[in-house]
Amino acid sequence: MKRHLRLIALFVRATVQSQLEYRSGVLGRLLANLMSVGTGILLLWAMFQQVSSVGGWNFDQVLVLVGVVYTVEFVVEIWFYPSLNPVSGYVRKGEFDLLLLKPVSSQFLVTFRYLQVLEFSGLVIGLAVIGIGMHRLGSLTLPNLLILAVFLVVALAIIYSLYLALSTLAFWFTRIEEVASIIWLHSTAGSFPVAAYPGWARVLFTFVLPVAFVTNVPAQAATGRLTWDWALGALAFAATALLGSGWLWGRAIRSYSSASS
Amino acid sequence: MSPIIHVEKLCKDYEVHQKEPGLAGSFRSFFRRKFQIVPAVRDVSFDIAPGEIVGFLGPNGAGKTTTLKVLSGLLYPTSGKVDVLGFTPQERKSAFLKSITMVMGQKQQLSWDLTPADSFLVNQAIYDVADGDYRSRLGELTEMLELQPVLNKPVRKLSLGERMKCELAAALLHAPKILFLDEPTIGLDVNMQQAVRRFVADYNKRTGASIILTSHYMADVEALAERVLVIDGGRLVFDGDLSALVAARAPNKVLRLQLEAAVARERLAQFAPVRNLDGLTAELLAPRGNVAEIAARILNEIAVADIAIEDMPIEEVLGALFQRPSAPQAAQAAS
């Protein structure tokens, strides 16, 4: 455990060092993030000039939901995407060999390799949007924040598992960057309360592409509306997804044979 | 002494995806892939003792790298028994991985944007090397490989040779008992090749680690390995002393001449058999023993712009050894 924490610290340090080598962009990224979040909220506000609720959620509740979407999206952007997206490249170029020869789990090595903590600004914006929404609803309390934290972690575990499973396909299909773009679905489909969708889409977005668990559940937790069935459902889904994607990774490693001799 | 590596009747097949020619073929194979089983290694058996340096020789695609990958646990054998340090390699147990290392000339483990020193720290953590051991080993490797000037430069600013030396250091910080070196000198200039060779020989003497090496360069294997395993078409065709093999089977060196003016083939043949004459470039086959004398005579008697004395290319030595061309089918499939 201590060795793993030390490794994560070293990987973060290494990633920060690499990023500092090419440091332009950090400020640009901050501005772009502010713009995209601002536009999103403006659109939402315009929509709520016409309707008073979407799927039973009012403006402030949807604002929290959108905050959750941004938060999850930024974590994907600074962590899962940079770390897991190169996997298919490792496989294609045969660099995976060197990873497999390390006496540390290869899943661990690829998961934490590129944690771009320098780009945290987007994350702060996402959390701020959640905070503003919660404040307007009067639900900004310590218990709500704690439950929110728990279900944000659960949401991230689900997204991580999904991304890992998609990256694992690289071992069989070699080129999967295009397939992996499905991962961004949570930011489009997930920006609305799942209750607003028709029945078949609700099932799809809950169990197949679990945007309900990834965005709706944390938003419900933040606004004190989370029910036991959804909470347990999210936990069960996350646990299954983590175990399943880990198992798939193990399978992939076993069937791996180097791309070049 | 009991062997550190024991291989018995190792076979390894690859499943190779066959693509039909043309666009229509590409579409067809997009939907229905045909696979062909290609044997890469066939019934290979050998033992390696602790401290030995063994060279794997063979033409491209002969099965050298495949064998190395099976020994290091990267590939599962299709059949046969493989025992390395008492472990079954493909289980990739932590204790096993901590006692081996692999350096591949064509692949790098150092991070492009980091300094070697930073990458070494990551390896220290990965291999769980205690601080004291780490410092003393790094000190020793830095001295042996003359790394001091490059330790704190980003890897992308290093030359290929400097990078290879850093790769070697990174691969040895955990003091492995077995080194698998796959084409460690590929692409390096002659000086750097020699530096790497000297280091490997020296490292073997200092630590007693076993070294298994593949190379295209005859000189690598000649300088390092007393024993060679020759693999051709996936089969082990020779296991034994290198010097005897080379002296007996490759008695000639290649004298490569850049002529200043055209010279008749017959004139050149008076010095040594002509292997090739193409315009102003000529290649003669000179016996090992008096290659210097022949070269001196040529320089005296005809106008030569440039002269080089080279070993027979390894493929040709092997080709001569087995009196047949290497199988192109197998070569293609495994590469």
Output the DSSP codes for A72-96. HHHHIIIIIHHHHTTHHHHHHHTTH
Residue B321's pLDDT is 64
Q: Which domain holds residue A142?
A: 44-255
Decide if B77 touches A, using CB distance below 8 A.
no
pLDDT, averaged across chain B: 85
Shortest distance between the Cα of B240 and any Cα of chain A, in A, equals: 25
**B67 in contact with A at a CB cutoff of 8 Å?**
no
* Smallest Cα distance from A74 to chain B, Å: 24
Pairing of strands B79-84, B227-232: unpaired
Residue range B172-193, pLDDT digits in tens? 999 999 999 998 888 888 888 8
Closest CA to A123 of A143, A152, A160: A152
Closest alpha carbon within chain A to B12? A257
Which chain B residues are closer than 8 Å to A100 by Cβ?
A: 73-74, 92
Residues B5-247: name the CATH superfamily.
Answer: P-loop containing nucleotide triphosphate hydrolases (3.40.50.300)
Half-sphere exposure of B280 (CA within 13 A, CB side): 10
Q: Which is nearest to B70 in space by CA: B127, B17, B14?
A: B14
Q: What percent of chain B has pLDDT over 90?
A: 39
B121 contact residues in A (CB cutoff 8 A): 10
pLDDT(B89) > 80: yes
Shortest distance, CA A69 to any CA of chain B (angstroms): 32
Q: Is residue A4 part of a domain?
A: no
What pLDDT, on the 0 to 100 scale, is given for residue B323? 52
Specify the pLDDT at position A261.
40
Banded model confidence at residue B129, pLDDT cuts 50, 70, 90 = very high
Contact call for B114 and A14, based on CB within 8 A:
yes
Minimal Cα distance from B122: which residue of A? A10
Sheet holding B178-182, edge to edge: B100-104, B178-182, B210-214, B53-57, B227-232, B235-241
Q: Which of A2, A254, A261 has the most B C-beta neighbours within 10 Å, making it the best mutation to test the interface with B?
A: A261
> Per-block average pLDDT, block size 10, for chain A (261 residues)?
89 85 72 87 90 89 92 90 87 84 93 86 91 93 94 95 87 65 67 79 76 90 91 95 94 70 40
For residue A8, the distance in angstroms to the closest alpha carbon of chain B comes to 10
Q: What is the pLDDT of residue A125?
A: 92
- In chain A, residues with a C-beta closer than 8 Å to the C-beta of B106 are 260
CB A166 within 8 A of CB A194: no
The predicted pLDDT at position B63 comes to: 87
Cα of B94 to nearest chain A Cα, Å: 5
- CA proximity to A221, closest of A204, A241, A208, A235: A235
Predicted structure pTM score: 0.79
Measured between beta carbons, the chain B residues lying within 8 angstroms of A98 are 102, 104, 107-109
Residue range B194-203: average pLDDT?
A: 91
Residue A37 lies in a domain: no
pLDDT digits (tens, 9 = 90+) for B285-331: 888 888 888 989 998 888 888 988 887 766 566 666 655 444 433 33
Encoded amino acid at B332, one letter = Q
Which among A7, A13, A21 has the least Cβ separation from residue B154?
A21
Which residues, in sequence order, are CB contacts of A73 under 8 Å at separation 6+?
A122, A126, A184, A186, A187
Helix, strand or coil, per DSSP, at residue A138? coil
Chain B within 8 Å of A20 (Cβ-Cβ)?
Answer: no
Of A54-58, A187-191, B67-71, B262-266, minimum mean pLDDT range: A187-191
Q: Which CATH class is domain B251-310?
A: alpha beta
Q: Is the model more confident about A138 or about B335?
A: A138
What's the confidence (pLDDT) of residue A177?
62
- Nearest one of A172, A162, A164, A195 to A58, comparing CA atoms: A195
pLDDT per residue over B32-43, tens digit each?
Answer: 667 778 888 999
Q: Taking CB atoms and an 8 Å cutoff, what residues of chain A touch B61?
A: 261
Looking at per-residue confidence, does B250 or B100 come out higher?
Answer: B100
Distance from CA of B121 to the nearest CA of A (A): 8
Using a CB–CB cutoff of 8 Å, tell me whether A250 touches chain B. Answer: no
Q: Measured between CB atoms, does A93 come within 8 Å of chain B?
A: yes
Could you report the per-residue pLDDT of B205-244, keeping only the tens digit for each? 999 999 999 887 777 887 888 898 988 888 998 888 876 7
- Interface mutation target, options B68, B122, B153, chain A, most CBs of A under 10 Å: B122
Q: Which residues of B touch A104 (CB under 8 A)?
A: 126
| Tokens linked to B35 | 């696979």
- Range in B68-72, B107-111, B159-163 with the lowest mean pLDDT: B107-111
pLDDT at B44 over 70: yes
Q: Which residue of B has its CA nearest to A99?
A: B109
Amino acid B326: pLDDT: 43
Residues of B in contact with A7 (CB under 8 A): 122, 125-126
Q: Closest residue of B to A256, CA-based?
A: B75
Q: Provide the 3-class DSSP secondary structure of residue B56.
A: strand
Q: Tell me which H or E stretch contains A107.
A: helix A106-112
Of residues A185 and B118, which shows the higher confidence score?
Answer: B118
Q: Give me the residue spans of the domains in chain B.
A: 5-247, 251-310
Within the 90-109 window of chain B, which residues sit less than 8 Å (CB to CB) from chain A?
Answer: 92, 94-95, 97-98, 100-102, 104, 106-109
End-to-end CA distance of chain A: 35
Residues of chain A in contact with residue B95, where contact means CB-CB under 8 angstroms, are: 103
Number of structural domains (chain A) is 1
